Amino acid sequence: MFGTFSGYRINWNKSELMPIRLQNTSWLERLPFKLSLERFTYLGIVVTKQYSSLFKENFPPLMQRLKANIQFWRTLPISLLGRINAIKMVFLPQLLYLFQNIPVFIPKSFHKQLDSIINPFIWDYKTHRIGKKHLCKSKMEGGLSLPNFIFYYWAANLRAVTFLLDDALPSSSWLNMEREDCHPFSIGAVILSPVKLEMSLYSNNPIIHSTVRIWKQIKVHFDLRPISFMLPVARNPSFAPSNLDNTFERWGELGINTIGDLYIEGTFASFELLRETYNLPRSNFFRYLQIRDYVRKHLPTFENAKPSMFDGCINICPTSDKLISRLYDAFQSVSTPSTDAIKAKWEEELGTDISVADWEDSLEYIHTCSINSRHRLIQFKVLHRLHYSKTKLHWIFPDTSPMCDKCHAAQGTLLHCYALCPNLHGYWCGIFKILSEVLETSIDPDPLLIIL
């Protein structure tokens, strides 16, 4: 009927049928479909008969394509920035597509395998000069924005969790199916449960099981407290009193839906304060004592707790723009490595303190100092001390002289080689003379300005 009005017609040669639970399939051969007994490909994703086969059929082949791409890219004269951009523009979108559309649990070993392929390529199969975390930092923080794939994996799956936790969203088939598989419990309480639950509580649904495991993976990695402020109070399988009657569901109607709603101005509210705020009946005092004991059990310092950054992440509107990117940035913000050790080393060589503001500005200037990517990469390497100085080479190889190769009169520290060597004096004087003329103010050669 649709074809009659639209002018479209079904292409039977491209139409596939995969029987799931049929004992006798011989009659299917008389249908005009291509019969696929184990798998078929839909929009670039291999859909398998067995849920357990989804990972094997989709992710390892992508890994093989990455290896093939890298073998080709190795033949090209690409800089470190170029190699990072190749990973970001070519490989990341393919991997992110799978993360968003295949709801499977992926162990950390997969991401370690990814790193074992990508990291050597990034460094052109030479010695790594700095930790991967520094490369993954945002450009505003002086990094090179190398994708952290496990963070993108978590962000893609947390986006799905935000849909499951938002009861105000219009009903849709996939939301209804997953929520029904947790009945009579709340799916949010199942996923965010502070204790391990039996799979039978959610009808052995493998998608929900994977989501529970992913949330646990995030909690362990970031050492999150056991209980989330977004944990629902009613129909909570880890809080037995919530399933005895509909008291806590009535609390939800009055405005107390989650553990976070029990806190007022950062303090676990007294029963009297909750009564005034939400109009609770006095007869619910015993239920209040039960929920308070439950929170205390999983959060010993519960009196003055505050929502964590991750509570805010899963409380975002699911339909927000660029939600995965925002969740990824949130993960990055709590994982940014400190550059205090690098700053302290420069202070030691310069013999002066560098203010926090100046240091943060210098990290940001890495990517604003020039439109030339090669110049930006040079500044990144200088500021992060990636070059091997003569003194460091002497420390690694004692037979190597620590003296500067240019003047042979002083030890070749990075500061000396960049700014203090007498053979560079004329060069820097010329640079600062031009700067003084252009800016119409006198600027003397200053090692701090040269470095930062």
Mean pLDDT of 151-173: 88
* pLDDT of residue 404 exceeding 80: yes
pLDDT of residue 215: 93
> Cα separation of 230 and 232, whole Å?
6
Alpha-carbon gap, residue 100 to 58, rounded angstroms:
13
Burial of 331-356, coded b for 16+ CB within 10 Å and e otherwise, reads bbeeeebebeebbeebeebbeeebee
Please name every residue paired with 40 in a beta bridge, in sequence order, or none if there are none: 47
- Predicted confidence at residue 91, as pLDDT, reads 94
Minimum mean pLDDT among 99-108, 192-201, 247-256: which range? 192-201
Residue 386: predicted pLDDT: 93
Rounded Cα–Cα distance for residues 378 and 435 (Å):
20
Q: Is the pLDDT of residue 301 over 90?
A: no
pLDDT, tens only, 343-400: 999 999 999 999 999 999 999 999 998 999 999 999 999 999 999 999 999 999 999 9
Q: Which amino acid appears at position 302 of this protein?
A: F
For residue 277, pLDDT over 80 is answered with: yes
Nearest to 213 by CA among 157, 163, 262: 157
pLDDT at 416: 94
In the predicted model, what is the mean pLDDT of residues 187-216? 90
DSSP annotation string for 98-161 = HHHH------HHHHHHHHHHHHHHHTTTS---S-HHHHHS-GGGT------HHHHHHHHHHHHH
Separation of alpha carbons 324 and 299, rounded Å: 29
pLDDT bin (cut points 50, 70, 90) of residue 186 is: very high
Strand partners of residue 35: 17
User: How high does pLDDT run on average in the chain?
Assistant: 91
Q: Which residues of 281-316 are buried (b: 16+ CB within 10 A; e: fewer)?
A: eeebeebbebbbebbeebbeebeebebeebbebbbb
* 413-438 pLDDT per residue, tens: 999 999 999 999 999 999 999 999 99
What CA–CA distance (Å, rounded) separates 247 from 278? Answer: 14
**Range 159-167 average pLDDT:** 88
Residue pair 160/189 in contact by the 8 Å Cβ criterion? no
Query: What's residue 43's pLDDT?
Result: 92
pLDDT for 311: 86
C-alpha of 286 from chain center: 42
Compute how many other C-beta atoms are within 10 angstroms of the C-beta atom of residue 262. Answer: 21
- Render pLDDT for 17-31 as a digit per residue (tens, 0 to 9): 888 888 787 888 888
Beta bridge partners of 403: 411
Neighbouring residues of 262: CB distance < 8 A, sequence distance ≥ 6 = 233, 256, 268, 269, 274, 291, 292, 295
Domain boundaries, the chain: 12-147, 339-451
DSSP H or E stretch at residue 375: helix 373-383
Cα dist from 261 to 189, 253, 258, 277, 372, whole Å: 15, 12, 5, 11, 51
Q: Report yes or no: 329 and 177 within 8 Å, Cβ to Cβ.
A: no
Instruction: List all residues 6 or more positions away from 374 whose beta carbon is below 8 Å from its beta carbon.
Output: 79
> What confidence score (pLDDT) does residue 421 get?
93
Residues in the chain: 452
How confident is the model at residue 418, as a pLDDT?
Answer: 93
Share of the chain above pLDDT 90, in %: 74
pLDDT of residue 13: 83
Q: What is the mean pLDDT of residues 124-130?
A: 90
pLDDT digits (tens, 9 = 90+) for 42-78: 999 999 999 999 999 999 999 999 999 999 999 999 9
Average pLDDT over residues 85-102: 94
pLDDT of residue 276: 93
Average pLDDT for 160-189: 87
pLDDT of residue 19: 87
In this structure, the number of other CB atoms found within 10 A of the CB of residue 388 comes to 15
Structure tokens at 401: 């002289």
**Model confidence at 33, in pLDDT bands (50, 70, 90)?**
confident
Say how far apart CA 196 and CA 434 lie, in whole Å: 67
What is the percent of the chain where pLDDT is above 70? 100
